[in-house]
Chains A and B, each alone.
Chain A
Amino acid sequence: MSTLQNPGRRSFMVTTAAAGSGLLLAFALGSCGGASSPNGRNGFRPNGWLRITPGGRIIITVAEAEMGQGVHTSLAMLVAEELEVTMEQVEVEQAPVDNRLYGWQYTGGSTSVREGWEPMRRAGATARQMLIEAAARRWQVPPGECRARLGVVEHPASGKRATYGELASAAAQLDPPSQVSLKDPARFRLIGRATGEVEAVPVVTGRLRYASDLKLPGMLTAVVVHCPVFGGGVRSVASEAALQVAGVRRVLEIEEGVVVLAEHFWAAQQGARALRIEWDYGAAAGLDSAGIRKLFQSHADRFDSLDQELARALESAPRRLEVDYHIPFQAHAVPESICCTVHIHDGICEVWVPTQSPSEAQEVAARLSLSRPGYLLQKLKGKLLGRPFDAVRIHNMRLGGGFGRRLEVDYVVEAVKIAKLAQAPVRLLWPREEEIQHGYYRPASLHRMRAGLDQQGMPLAWHQLAVGAGGFRSPYYSIPAKGGDTLKLESGVPTGSWRSVGSSYNAFVIEGFVDELAAAAGRDPLDYRLALLEDEPRFRAVIELAAEKAGWGGRLPEGHHLGLAAHPGFGSLVAQVVELSADRERGIRIHRIVCAIDCGQVVNPDTVKAQMEGGIIFGLTATLAGAITIRNGRVEQSNLHDFPLLRMGEVPPIDVYIVPSSAPPGGVGEPGVPPIAPAVGNALYAATGKRIRELPVKPEELFQ
């Protein structure tokens, strides 16, 4: 059992709404619970709550948004483990947005379990100790003789027992312990065991209400038609035909486009189709994918500020390689299209929205819905008095897919603007076409990779010039001189975070290029990587596990080939091996994918596996199925027929292996994505001798 101080900054505070109302513990999670002290209580700013009611309900409030990554379940498991209750005994609640209580709320970067690992357990342990203490006082026995089990405190010597509910109000009268004892991992009942999702039944029965399912009295549905060309605007609108559509109420203009308001979505969509809009296409009308690529290339060609030492190392190497990799734009294609419901009433702006950025949503909703003095007053109250934006209520709904798209809050801006003009509750719901054509895409980019090798083919120097991307990544391999540069260019296409963010392209170029170096050296790609990771035993073990499970170096069926890639990120280490065959007659057939992950201490192994499977399929879709291309300043694709997602039959068996570890937990939502594209590329090289330096893979070029 490990004993932790409850230090001042992170200490638990107990608040009770009223005597006899049970136990309420607030706790701070990782970096969210900041040191600043808007409410002046020892700098403590909680972002989670644990409530035990006199009736015995145990309610865990979580600030993180659920979008399929299983975070409500994982975080609740941490509390339930230490509290000595089962998952069936707890309820999980989505926290309201309240910067005072929860800090700046945001879900991304595969951070939730990493940051919650200790505080969530400490919350459960604190409550457990207080309940035991309350029982011990009631029975006048030493607390050490009592134990907590399945929602009950027992005193085995006397046979006395009391439920948590019966003890909750008495426990709330106690000071929280200055020290809490966390369980010995050997005694974990829940952590490390496959656990089903807490909201699974409402999902499979269709009863779970997503934001786009809500219906408010008097609600209108809004469809926005955006200028097809990025950055363009409306010149004129002829709305007569749209207003003739049964159910259409109004046509409005906002800065973002033309809005049709109707009684239901179908009428709004029909109305939008009937609009005659003359657009001012603006400066981007001539933009296309080929032009963007040329722009990147010309900047790469003109780049001349390479670090001198690195330049010398590259030039003096006996062998040199230089190749360009190309990454396309990718859309999120979130299954629940972009949506946000807003009702402004009684001086309050209420927002129902699936978002990864609820705090930002609240900020923009306040700015747009309140008068200027009203907004400033709210800001002032927040700063000086630590009050939340009480004039804006964000109901953060479960996300029908996030993948980074819902880190943006453009839909909140639109919905609030429309609700203000409409003076009615408004559900904004984008038709799929708008979602595909008006996203914040994974940026297209060019990566000029350079390396210098010694006589044995081992790298002496490495440089990545990332053009158009968010940033290069220095390789995690041991190389005497290594580095990179980033040229951030605005292509005119809006870009944002796309599951695994920079790793989605940096893994492709690093793992593709290191495979090229291995081939140039005439060495096995696995041995070559391991030789460059001598000081990284944990990472080596992951790569070796994936290779061993995939049968690396063994006999494969006729025509089958393997490709390997590995990538560290988000606190985890992942390696993947793809087994495929590729020929002109039957094209590319992926037979199997093996994935090994070391994500430290595993909370819910089932979630780890699910996230690896899902990340691999997400990445495989971008590797094989399609991309976003630009022509005449607009996205050429418009729906899932020309931006296809992989289907069940296109996804091979995926075997996930978890390396046992007691290191602190790593993230799992994103790290499954990065290695799959280079693993496929490297397997295709093994099969065809052709290097894949551009995504998505084009079989017609591969078999020319």
Chain B
Amino acid sequence: MLTVHGTTGEVVKIIVNVLLGGRVMKRKVVSLILACSMVAGLTACGKGATDNGGNAGAEATTEAAEETESSDATEAEETTESADTAEATELAPIESDYVESGEEGKVINIYCWNDEFRQRVEAVYDKVDHTSDDGTITYLTDGTEIHWTVNPNQDGVYQSKLDEALLNQATATGDDKIDMFLSETDYVVKYTDAEADVAIPLTELGIDPDTVLADQYSFTKTVASDANGVQRGSTWQACPVLFVYRRDIAQDVFGTDDPDEIHAKVADWDTMKASGEELKAKGYYTLSSYADTFRAYGNSIANPWVEQGSTEINVDPQIINWVNDSKEWLDAGLIDANIKGQWTDEWNKAMGSASNVFGFLLPAWGIDFVLSPNWDGETGAWAVTDGPQAFNWGGSFVHGCAGTDDPEHVREIMLAVTADKDNLVQITRDYLDFTNTQTGMQEIAEDDSFSAEFLGGENPFKYFQPAASSIEMTTLSPYDQGCVELVQNAFSDYLQGQIDFETAKANFETAIKERYPEITAVNWPE
């Protein structure tokens, strides 16, 4: 007789017996039923599988993101100076339609996409006691808990999770309500929108932007305001971008690593390209990827991607310039074709000591948050100077969420992290972040004793400070993140030589209409 091996065999045998069922008729019936039930299950299953897969992917990305971050959580900062603001100035209790009346809640829910904001809060908010080891809960000394809900920014995951939660805000009960959330420059407009009305106007929280936030860079205040000029968010950082380069490569190729002399080599795109040829002759890439220059072009567009009230996307000529220039640089061998985008493994490795990439265009947070964790050589190997173009990249805005039941804490956190000059200066000194205080940055820029070890003792704020003053941001739309991501993705295929220009355009149109169903047309420049 046939022998079945082990338990697997037994189980399988049973399956087979059921399926074969002995008689032909029965067998047919069984398999037909099977087939039908599977077909019927498809639609529902498809949905389930989709969700699971999405989450799994998201989780994977979160993990990856968290790995790249320098986990400074351990060195929970001893905050001495921060105590003064919140308590010294007696704040009036908050009465507003935007907040839940009654007792202050015990749980503060904050939505964000990485642990950067948590680190800032831990560093300067005087009520922080400690954070749980997994970083999900921060305990405050008054017994309140901050619950962090982290979803990755990439691919719009953070926004869709946040949107879902915001739509449920009205029905959520006290401790489940979102109290604060963060948004990035790419989509801050979506959340500060007066019609959406999800971010509490600062005045409703008892914060007068004109006095309390007077020291902030004005463009950060404009960006966080709705169309009527009502400010609905605040940020602790401004993000002017500088050219960060490797000193050893500069010495090797140009014979000097002096920031002013290197600036002369990269003063504008043409000069930079000419210097790129010199770097290439010695086997170096000028920049890592065509994605590195995208923000320079993308943030200097003349008109927003989507005009207010319109459902048509206007592609700015600057974007086409980016495509053409990138193609030129790529063909000339000045950038590494193997690095297809930012936030990839290749990009991270290009910041390591084994890489032959000369420099990156990064804002202050980029140096602290991206470059520094990826650098594995000697400290002090990098330097900054002014790049070919001043532009802003990123910026995280903090919003109080309409319907919050912890308005007092929301105000305290917002003031501590974004409005207190001493706190901001401390963040800058500890994390090299470019913070949102004009006078503070001015002081640090002029402070000769201030030096960044990572940058070989250079004071980067000498360069960041003037760059920040020249930034203007007037062309934001709620669709920016999708446009920026998808246009790069579509034209990456073109730059890699996989498809022609027209196909890339068509692919962008398809992808953008998928992301935003209401988009009716995409207009390309002549």
* Chains A and B form a bound pair: no
Contact residues of A with B, CB < 8 Å? none
Query: What is the interface of chain B, defined by CB distance below 8 A to chain A?
Result: none
